[in-house]
A and B are shown apart, each in its own frame.
Chain A
Amino acid sequence: MDSRLLHDLKKLLGAEGVLHRTEDLLLYEYDGSVEVARPDCVVFPRNTADVVEIVKLANRHRVPLVGRGAGTGLSGGALAREGGIITSFARMNRILEVDAENQRARVQPGVVNADLSLAVAHLGLHFAPDPSSQKACTIGGNVSENSGGPHTLAYGVTTNHVLALEAVLPGGEVVHLGSPVVDSPGYDLLGVFVGSEGTFGLATEITVRLTRLPEAVKTLLAIYDSIDDATETVAEITARGITPAACEMMDGWTIRAVEDYAHAGFPLDAAAILLIEVDGLSEVVEAEAEAVADVCKQHHARSVRVARDAAERDLLWKGRKNAFGAAGRISPSYYTQDGVIPRTKLPATLRRVGEIGRKYNLAIGNVFHAGDGNLHPIILFDERNQQQFQDAVRAADEIIECCIEFGGSITGEHGVGMEKDRLMPLLFSEADLDLMKRVRGVFNPDGLLNPGKILPNSKGCGEIYVRPQRPAAAPSA
C-alpha cells in the first residue's frame, strides 16, 4: 500500500488507529462466511469527522473503502474484495442518546446490537431486530445488511426499526437520511440506503426505534418424529391467523450437534423440533400458546413443552442461536445458505434439500426461521478436500435454485455480498440490475465504496465461481 497514504492515515488517526502489518490484517480477511479477501489496511475512526477525512484520503489515492462492524456477516459484505482500506467502527461504539418518551435511541454504528437492548431494558424497551450474532454484531452492520433474526417474524427486520441516519457518502459529503420523527419529505432515501450492504455510504450515526418489551412471553418446544409434521405445523399456525413472535425449526442432525454443545434439553432421537414463541398481553399469550400447542399436537408432535421460566427459555434460545457454532465443532468447515421460500413450500423444499445432500454425499443440517420461510441449510465439508468444497458450493447453488423455482429469494437476511452476486441474474433481469447499478451510482459514482458486491460484474449467470483456494475455517458465529 502507498506509504504516503499510510502516513496520512496515521497522522489522522494516530498509530493505534491504523493496522497494516500482515499479521494484523489476517483477522480482517474473514467474516462469518466462507469468503476470504485481505485488505491493505484497517483504520479505526473515532467520529464522523475522521470518517470524512478517511473517505477523502481514499478518494485522493483512488483506493477502495469498505465499512466493517464486528465482521459477523455471512456473505462477505465487510470484506475488502478488491483490497484497500477497511474502516472499522469498533471505536465508534457509544449510545449517544436514549429518548424513552419517544421510544428512540441515537447510536454510533459500532454499538453492539445486544448492548443497546441491555442498556434500555430498565426502561421496559428493547431494539427488536435480534440476529443470532446479536452478542457481537453491530447496529451499523445491521443497517448495512438489513439484518433479521428469529423475532423478525412479528417485529420486522432492521429497516422497520431505523428512523434516521447520518452517513458519509463516498464523495465525503455528510448526509442525513430519514428523520427521528415519522415521515420525511421527498423520496425514501433511508429506505433504499438500509440494506445496501455498505455500497451507498458509511453510516456514522443511527436513530432507531425502541420497542416496548412484551408483558408476557411463552416459549414452546415441540418435538417431532417427522420433518413433514413439523413443517405442516408451521403452515397451519400461519393459516390459523396466529403470528408467533418467533417460529424456528431445527432438524435432527442439527439438534444432535447443538445438544452436545449447548445442553438445551433437545431430544437426541427427534427428527425435528419447533421452537415457537408467543408474546404480548398475558391474556393473548395464554390463548395463543394453547392454540399453538393444539396445532402441534394435531400434527403429531411427540411432545409439546412450555419453558417454565426465563432461565429455561434462555437455554432453549441459546441452543437455537448457537446452531452455527455447534456445526463448527463437528466439521472442519461449513457453508450456510439463506434462501427464502413461501412458507407453504417448506415441506417440499426440505425434501429437495435432503435429495441434494444425498446427491453430493454431503451432510446438510437444517436450522431456520420457519415462520417466514427463511432457510439456513448448513452444508458440512472439509476445507482440505477441494472436490468436497466445490460440491458444497454446487449443492448450495442447487438449494438456491430450488428456492427461486418455488417463488422465493436468494437471501432473506444474510445479504448478497460477494457470495451471491453471481446468483442475482437468476432473480433479476438485466433491466432490473441496470437500474440498481445506476441507483448505486447516484450514491457511489466512482464505485470506490465496497466494490465487487451485490451486483454481478459479468452478464453471465450460474457459471461456477472459483472461490479462493483456501476457504475459511469455521467461524463461531
Chain B
Amino acid sequence: MSMAAPGISSGLAEIVGSANVIVDPAQLAAYRIGPCVPKAAVRPGTNREVAEIVRLSAAEKFALVPVGARTKLRLNVPPRRYDLALDMTRLDRIVAYDPDDLTLSVEPGIQLQKLADVLAKHGQFIPLAVPFLGNATVGGTIASGVDSPLRQFFGTARDYTLGMEFVTGDGQIVKSGGRVVKNVSGFDLHKLMIGSLGSLGVLTKINFRTFPAPRELRGFVAYFDSAQSAVEFRQNVAKSPLKPLALEMLSSRGAELLSSDRAEQIEPGQLRAYALASRRWAILVSYTGTEEVLKRYEHGLRQMAGTTDSVSLGKGAAAVALGRLREFIPIALESSPATVIVKASVFPARMGEILGEAESIAAESGARWAAIAHGVGAIYFALLPEARDEENGARAARAVANLRDACIRRGGNFSVAWCPAEWRGLFPKLQMGSTELQLMRKLKSVFDPSGVFASNPFAGDE
C-alpha cells in the first residue's frame, strides 16, 4: 500500500468529521490484529456513514475490518491486509424494544452488559452468556459467532436472531428477516452474517427475540474420575425430563485455571473453594425454576450422580461458577504466552472418548492444558505452552494434528480458533468439501464484490 495516512483521513473526515478519524499511531495500536496495525480508524455514527465509508474504501481499495470492543481480534486468521478499522462503538443505540412482544432491535456497538441491564429492568434477557461478556459488543459477538453455555437450552444466536440490517461491500444498506418471532419472508441472509467475522458485511442493526430472565439460578457440580464417566452422567441427564439451562464439562486441570488469581480478575466473585477446584473432571449443571422445580432438579441430579461426589450451588455460587466457565477462553488466553485453543464439535455421546484421547495427546505434548465442553458437543481444548518459541510451536503443532485426527475420525468438526499469529501456518486447514467451499467463495463475492472486507474465514484453505 502506497497510500499515506492523510489520504485516508481526509476522505473519512468528510464523512464523519475529523474528531471521529484516528490516525495517531499510539491510538491505532489498540486496533492491532496480529502483526497488522491499520493506517486509520474511523468511528461512524449512523448506518449511512457506514455505507459511505464502505463505498469510499471500495473505491480507494482500503482493506477494512469492522470492530467493536476489540476483544476477539485474535480469533481466527489475521487479515492479509488491514488499512482501516471501522470502529462501530458509536452505533450503540437500542433502536426498539418491545418487552411485551419479547422483541428487540439494537445497533451493533452496544455493549452486551449495558444491554443486559436495560433488559433486566423488564425481567428479560438475551441468552448470549458469551466470553468477554464484560466488554464485548453485540455486533462483535454475533460476527464472531462465539457460543454460550446457555446454548444447552436456548440454542445459539441463529436460533434467536430475527433479522438484521447490514452494509454490503458495495455500500448498499440491506436487510433480511424482520422483528417478529416467526417469519419466512425471503431468504434468511442474516444467518450468513453470524460467525462470518465481518467478511460479508458490516452489521448496522440486529433484531433479537428476548426471553424471560431466569429468576433463581442454581447449580449442581458432580466430579468424575474420567471424561467417559462424566459423559455418561451427561447422557443420563439428556435422557431425563430435566432441561437444564447449561451443562458444562470441565477437565481435571480446568479447575485450576478457572480458580487462578488471573481468572478472578477476569470474572470476579467468590468461587467457593470446593465448587470447581477439583483435580478431577467436573460437570456443572445450571438450572432455574420455582421452589418445587429447584428441588426436583437437585433431587434428580443427585440421584443420577449416585455415589459420585457432588455439591449443590446456591444462587451466588451458581452464577460465579457459570461465569467462570463462560470466560474459559479469555482466562486460557491470559494463562500462557502462547495459548492455542482448538474447537472440536462432536457427537455429544462421543465426547468422553474424544476427551479421553485428547487427555493423552496433551500429556504427550508436555504442555499444560485445560478443556471445557458445552454439553451439546462443543469442546474447547486449550494448550498452554510455557513459551512462545519454535520448540513449543512444533510440539503444539503435533498435538493439534493428533487432536484433529481424534475428532475427525469420530465424525466431528475441528478448527484452531485461537493461537499466536506466527503459529497459524503450523496448523492444519479447515476440513471442508470443495463444492461447499466454492459456494462460500461465491457468496463472499456476491456480498463483497471488490473484496473491501479484509477478514477471511477461509484463509487457512487458500
Contact = CB atoms under 8 A, between A and B. Distances in A.
A412 B293 contact: no
B212 interface: yes
B172 A431 contact: yes
A432 B179 CA distance: 16
Contacts of B290: 283-284, 287
Given A186-B437, A192-B192, A407-B179, A160 B446 contact: no
Given A179-B413, A428-B175, A441-B446, A373 B181 contact: yes
Interface residues of B, number: 79
Tier of interface size on chain A: 35 or more
B435 interface: yes
Contact of B192 (A176, A188, A372): A188
A432 B205 CA distance: 14
A340 B232 CA distance: 43
A406 B6 CA distance: 47
A342 B172 contact: no
Contacts of A340: 178, 180-183
Contact of B413 (A99, A181, A428, A441): A181
Interface in A397-432: 407-416, 420, 424, 427-429, 431-432
A436 B176 contact: yes
Contacts of B376: 182
A283 B175 contact: no
A102 B180 contact: no
Nearest to A183: B345
Interface string B184-198: 111111011011100
Given A181-B345, A186-B436, A442-B446, A191 B168 contact: no
Nearest to B180: A340
B180 A283 contact: no
Contacts of A184: 345, 413
Residue of B187, B194, B435 contacting most chain A CB atoms (<10 Å): B187
Interface in B307-364: 343, 345-349
A432 B447 CA distance: 12
A102 B155 contact: no
Interface stretch (A4-12, A145-153, A304-312): A145-153
Contacts of A454: 186-187
B94 interface: no
Nearest to A101: B349
A284 to B, nearest CB: 6
Interface stretch (B27-35, B99-107, B254-262, B268-276): B99-107
A146 B159 CA distance: 13
A182 B458 CA distance: 19
A443 B439 contact: yes
A358 interface: no
A180 B191 contact: no
3 shortest interchain CB distances as A-B pairs:
A191-B191, A241-B212, A215-B241
Given A176-B433, A340-B181, A424-B186, 19 more contacts: A145-B184, A179-B413, A180-B347, A181-B413, A184-B345, A187-B200, A194-B188, A212-B239, A214-B241, A243-B212, A281-B243, A283-B292, A283-B296, A341-B180, A407-B180, A410-B185, A412-B183, A436-B176, A436-B187
Interface of A: 99, 101-103, 124, 145-146, 148, 152, 156-157, 159-160, 169, 173-177, 179-189, 191-192, 194-196, 212, 214-215, 235, 238-239, 241-243, 280-281, 283-284, 287, 340-344, 369, 372-374, 407-416, 420, 424, 427-429, 431-436, 438-443, 454
